[in-house]
Structures are given as structure tokens and as C-alpha cells.
Structure 1
Amino acid sequence: MTTTSTQPTFAPQTEWDAEPRRTTRSTFAGLTTNDDVDLTPVPGKGRAEVTFDFPRVRIGTAQYDEGPTGVTVIEVEGGARTAIDDRGGAVGITGRYPFNHAICLAGGSVHGTAAASGVTDALLERGGRRTGFGDLAVVSGAVIYDFAVRDNAITPDNALGRAAFDRAREGVVEVGRVGAGVGGSCGKMRPTATEWAGQGAAFRQVGDLKILALTVVNAVGAVMDRDGSVLRGNVQEDGTRRHPSIDGAAAFADGGVPGADGIQRGNTTLSVVVTNARLEEIDLRQLATQIHSSMHRGIQPFHTALDGDTLFLLTTDEVDLPAYDPRQGLGPSVASFGAIASEVMWDAVIESVR
């Protein structure tokens, strides 16, 4: 199955697998680690593929099925200026460079940051093992906490990062439970309310301007459709889904006392946006903030103290935005471009849980 997202899809979803995708819960103790098993990186198999027309951009995934846990690498040939918008109380990030040749997203929480070193090593090999200052390739990365839904401590490592980089392809990215999203889950009002999420992507071109959005959803919040209904997460015993605000209102009505089996900890949604729009530094940073803020519409709640949400915005600086007169309204402004990019990201969020 191949999905393209070159046109806006702002209507509620009508064709998707609505059956509950319930998760199990880890014991969190005495678990199998990488040293206990013979691990082999595998490509993984997503639910579908999203195609994109973006030269210089390659995306690859690899995973350890023994987890399951995985890695997703987004490479921009020649590198790209980068803005990073990270929020919440549990951010797990490495690098933080303002210019990157690749972004590495991984499971395994803090242990998964090792995957980014594998991507760096792979770039060193491809570059002829040159270590002059101008030859060094730069990689930033971020991780999700995916231990809560599996009873082992298998983590992404250097080898898995290399494997994801080596499998990177132009023009196509897998979506579903694959790569860094293979262990993603959402809607964790209670452990029993949690559902599997995953990796989503979307692409849109407006004139010569291109927007590629990728997200790995592992949120405490539930994923929302455009009509306000819950697509995935906070699933009830009868298989229906409930908006998390209802649970919150009930908790406050009970005097603010949480249930005996409260919100599941350990969450983070990781996102990457690549564009070819040439942007000033201040506009690059503001655009990252605007897109990341817009994701509240698709994930409720978002940016909580229990999340480590992080968005990387990269630009290849190839196409100028049209000139406009701000006295005539938004026009073809950075804000208008951000509104378009925000809808593309919402498409990616929805793709993560189909």
C-alpha cells in the first residue's frame, strides 16, 4: 500500500482500522538486555509507505524485533540548518546542533542515544574516514521511552543506528509500527487504556515549496481526528475511546484524587520537518515553535510533564518565500507557510495510528 499526501486532507478519517490495539505492561525488573541475546538489525515492516519528492533527503529504519525497539534516520545530503523545539519534563536528546547531516530518532530512552553515534560512524565511513574539521558529519538525535509496553530492556545501539542509516532510501518512508515507532504507544490515562501508536509521515508541495513531516508518536495523550474524536488511545473496557479531558474532569470532581492505576509514565513524541524554504534564523526558530505548538490539536494532552516532546526543523535553503506586504494580512508569509506545515504534521500524526 502506498500513500501520498501532496494535497491537504482536512476531513475526518473514514477508512482506518478502528479495532483496539491494546498493549501489555512491563514488570520493569530483572529484564533481558542486549548482552543476553544475539541481536540482528532487521528492516521491520510498516503498515504502508508514504512517498515524497525531496532530492537530498533519505529516510531509513531498522529495529530489533526482540524488543521490539527501533531507529529511524533522516539524512539530508550536505547537511541542513536546524531549529530544535523541545518541551515537556522528560526530554531525551543528544547533539542539539544548529546544523545537521542527519537526525536519529530511537527507542530505548537514554540508552537509545547510542544509536546516533552509529549514524555518525556510518557517515565517517562514507566520507572516506576523513577527520578534518570541515569533514566532520554532525548528527543530532532524540529518544522515546518505550519500555513500558515490553517486558525486556533491549535498546537501540551503535549497530542499529548504522543499520538504519545504511537502509535509508530517497522518496519513500514507511509508516506504522516500524523503526523508532515500533514501540510507540498513546492515550495512557491508565496502563489498560494504552494503545499502540507508531511512526507517521506526510508530504506536501505548494508551488516550489516542499514540506516533509515525520513523527514518532509515544504520547501520554490520545491521538485526535480533525472532528475532535479520538482515533487511538484511552481505550475503554468496551473498546470505545474517550477524550482525556473527561478523565481529567472526573478526577477534579473527585477532589483531585487520581485513580489507583493512574497515568502511565514514560512518554515522548519525536518529530522532524524538512523544508526547502530559505528562512532567516529567527523565522526558522519561530516556524519550529509554530508547527510543534499546532500538534496540540492532534494529540491531547500534549507537552505535559510526563512527555519529552522534541521537534527538529531542517531547511535545505533552496527556495525563497514570495515577497509580500504584511499590511495586506498574512499573505505568503512565514506564518502562512507554518499553517500549511502544521496541517501536514497533523496528517503525519494521523498516519502514525491508522
Structure 2
Amino acid sequence: MNKGSTMPLYDDSLPHRLTPPPFWEKRPGNRDVDLVPTHGEGRSKVAFDFPGIAVGTAEYVEGPTGATVISIPAGARTAVDARGGAIGIIGRYEDLNHAICFAGGSSYGLAAATGVSEEMLAQQGNRVSWQDLRSTSGAVIYDLAARDTGIVPDAALGRAAYRAARSDWIPVGRVGAGISASAGKIDLARCEFTGQGAAFAKLGPIRILIVTIVNPVGVVVGRDGTVLRGNYDRATGERRLPVVDYERALREGTTPTTAAGNTTVTAVVTNVRLDDKELRLFGRQVHSSMHRAIQPFHTNHDGDTLFALTTDEVELPPAGSTRLGEHAINSIALASVASELAWDAVLASAR
């Protein structure tokens, strides 16, 4: 393919269900194509107002695959909650991060986070004193089953996503790291495209931002219990919870089918000051809550990872001393609100 190709982006106007190509076929890779990063606008936008935070996306439409970067130039303390049997993480810094990078391409896509680090170094004037060091952590999804190429996010794509970061809105849908994300892979022929989701809330001085790339074994479930994306049965024209298929298989003594190659990656960013333990438990509560929107979640075929970050700018009022700390009750409230936002973000990825 020539440089500047007009190959169209996959978008939500196409059928949601997909038919994966045979794995044994040789596929074009990064060295076979003259790749140029693009910046899609997704299906819609989520506006946010969080000083010091910016989000950028970039894609290789020839994949299609992509990267999403959350930029925090002043840095944010971080806690990592990683679950499931197929986790792909780079960095995993739990003291301070200046960027979080999500990418497709499975383990090969971890190179995108390296590109983000390279770009931050360049923008720092290549200064390498201790106080000038910048940290990037990242996580990847397996999006290779949904497309017929072996093209993966690389350092150049990570740099492009970082440079494209903006502080007013985030594209959602099939864009960035979520351009080839899919859900409901109980059978590959029944899975459907999802994408990147986001949600934001401002409660007085408190700010909470969620960015998620939804690519699970499970299906996306609405607040009324309806399956919105995934496990689409072409014979009946219906979507159903995977547990229905699993119950039938176990009852009949057959082997349940589940496709490998999944993972949902999420970042929740707040400006509320939380100590290390509170931040860790905040992230754990939000991550656990996402099982309402994704069923099943944290399976041995998923590598679900959530980064909880705080810029430590707003103090919660003391709520009374307990053995868990005087802010424990308020941090529960904060996590409860963030949990509802996480559900909103998952829904935004699929609608």
C-alpha cells in the first residue's frame, strides 16, 4: 500500500458482527506497509474539563489498530489493579506516571508506550537529570482476531497519539486503541465490534475521568440488563448473556466454546488526594464494579487492567477516624460515583 492510502476506517456504519480470518493465512505486517498515523474522530465525543489532563489517539487504518494516550505532564500517583489470565503491561509504575498508553496488537503493541516515553524525552529537551525523568505505563488488548493483518501499534504510533493529546474532548467508538476492539467472543462468529469509551464528571471541585478500551470475552450489558453488544446469534437475531450458552453446554455435557485473545483496559483519573492505600482500594472498587457492564469479566482469557491515578489537588473533608483512615468513608463515596461513570464509559464504547 502506498504512503497516504485512503483505505477507509472501520466505523460504526458497518455491521457490528465480524467474521475473523483464518489464523493460518500469512498476513501483512508493519514492514510490508508504508504506515502513516491518522487521527479518527470516532462515533461521537465526550467533553471533559480536567486541568492538567489531555487525551490523544492515533490509528494505523491499514490494520486497523491504534493507540490511546492519557497525558498528565505534572504527573499523577498511580495504583494498578490487574486481573485475569492474559495481562499485558509495560511500566506498571505505582509511584508516579506522566502518561498512560493503551494499544492494540497484544504484546507487540507495548512498543507504543515506549514511543510515548521517547516523545516525552524529546519534549524535555533530552534532559535526563533525576527530576526530568518521565514515566509511562501501558497496557494492551488483543485485537488481532478482528482483522486480517499483523500490523501492530509501534513507537511511532505512540508518539503520534501523545502529540495529538487534547484537553477538551475524547472521541469514543471505533477509534484509538479501540478501533478493532470487540466483545462477546463466546464464539468468534458471534462477537461484535465495540471500541473506546469515556465518561467525565465534575462535582464541585472534584473531577473524575474514565477512559476504557472494551475488548472482553464477555458481552456489554446495559443498565436494564439488556445485552447491547456481543454474542449475537445470527440464527435468531438475538443477543444473549454468555451464561446461557455455558449452562446449556454444562447440562448437555459438551465443551463450552470461548475464544482467546481479549482484555479490557481502563484508566480512572481524579484530582482528589488519596493516600496509597486509599488509591489502591479506590481502583479496586471501580474495577470490580465493571462486572455489571461486562459479563463475564476478569476471565482467564482476559487481561483486564485498571490504572487509578490522582493528581492530589483536592482534599476530602475528614469523615471521622476509623482503623481504615479518616478519609475512608469519603473515598468509598468517590469510588461509588466513579463506578457509575465506568459503566457509562463502557456503554459509550458500544453504542
Normalised TM-score (structure 2):
0.92
Q: Paired residue for 1:5?
A: none
Equivalences for 1:131-280 in 2 at 5 Å?
131-237=128-234, 238-255=236-253, 257-258=254-255, 262-280=257-275
Give the deviation of 1:243 after TM superposition. 1.1
Given the alignment, which residue of 23, 29, 33 partners 1:33? 29
| 1:321 paired to 2:308 | no
Does the CA-based 8 Å contact 2:182-2:195 persist in structure 1? yes
Aligned with 1:120: secondary structure?
helix
Partner of 1:6: none
Please give the alpha-carbon distance, in whole angstroms, between the structure 1 residues aligned to 2:153 and 2:319. Answer: 46
2:40 is aligned to: 44
Q: Which runs of 5+ in 2 are unaligned?
A: 1-11
Q: Distance in 1 between matches of 2:255 and 2:21?
A: 21
- Kindly tell me: are residues 193 and 278 of structure 1, through their superposed partners in 2, closer, same or farther at Cα, counting changes over 3 Å? same
Q: What count of residue pairs does the alignment treat as equivalent?
A: 333
CA distance in 1, matches of 2:255, 2:63: 31
The code of the aligned residue for 1:80 comes to A
Structure 1 position 125, deviation (Å): 0.9
1:14 aligned residue: none
Q: Give how far 1:331 is off.
A: 9.4
Q: Which runs of 5+ in 1 are unaligned?
A: 1-16
Specify the code of the residue in structure 1 equivalent to 2:51: P
The superposition leaves residues 71-103 of structure 1 with CA deviations (integer Å, 9 ceiling, x where unpaired) of 000001211000000000000000010110000
2:124: which partner in 1? 127
- Tell me, in whole angstroms, the C-alpha distance in 2 between the residues paired with 1:182 and 1:140: 20
Kept in 2: contact 1:85–1:289 (CA 8 A): yes
**Do residues 339 (structure 1) and 325 (structure 2) align?**
no
Query: What SS does structure 2 have at the residue aligned with 1:83?
Result: strand
8 Å contact kept, 2:37–2:58: yes
Amino acid at match of 2:271: N
CA, structure 1 residues 35+213, in 2 after alignment: closer, same or farther (shift >3 Å)?
A: same
**1:7 alignment counterpart:** none
Distance in 1 between residues matched to 2:328 and 2:53, nearest whole Å: 29
- Identical-residue share of aligned pairs (%): 53
Q: For 1:171 and 1:282, how far apart are their aligned partners in 2?
A: 31
SS of 1:215 mapped into structure 2: strand
Q: How big is each residue's C-alpha offset from its partner over 1:253-278, in whole Å with a ceiling of 9 and x where there is no partner?
A: 112x225xx21110000000110000
- 1:322 and 1:332 in contact (8 A); partners too: no
Look up the SS of the partner of 1:352 in the other structure: helix
Match of 1:309 among 304, 315, 318: 304
Structure 2 Cα separation of the partners of residues 339 and 19 of structure 1: 35
- 1:167-214 C-alpha deviation (Å, 9 max, x unpaired): 000121100000000010001110111000000000011221110001
Q: Does 2:280 align with 1:282? A: no
Secondary structure at the aligned position of 2:272 is classed as strand
2:77 corresponds to: 81
1:45 shift after superposition? 2.8
8 Å contact from structure 2 (residues 69, 161) kept in 1? yes
Matched to 2:247, the amino acid is A
Cα distance in 1 for partners of 2:194, 2:294 equals 12
Q: The residue matched to 1:78 in structure 2 has which SS?
A: strand
Deviations 1:111-141 (A, max 9, x none): 0000011100110111111011221110000
Give the residue type in structure 2 aligned to 1:66: E
Q: Once the 2 structures are TM-superposed, how far is the Cα of residue 24 of structure 1 from its aligned partner?
A: 2.0
Change (3 A) 1:193 1:166: same
CA contact (8 A) 2:220 2:230 kept: yes
Say yes or no: does 1:112 pair with 2:109. Answer: yes
**For the residues of structure 2 that align with 1:18 and 1:151, how far apart are their CA atoms?**
19
Report the CA distance between 1:20 and its aligned residue: 5.8
Q: Determine the C-alpha separation between the residues in 2 that align with 1:20 and 1:170.
A: 32
- Alpha-carbon RMSD across the aligned residues, in angstroms, is 1.6
> After the TM superposition, which of the residue ranges 168-177 and 331-340 deviates more from structure 2?
331-340
Aligned pairs (5 A) from 1:49-68: 49-68=45-64
TM-score in terms of structure 1 length:
0.91
4+ long deviations beyond 6 Å: none
What amino acid sits opposite 2:61 in the alignment? D
Distance 1:331 1:289 in 2: 14
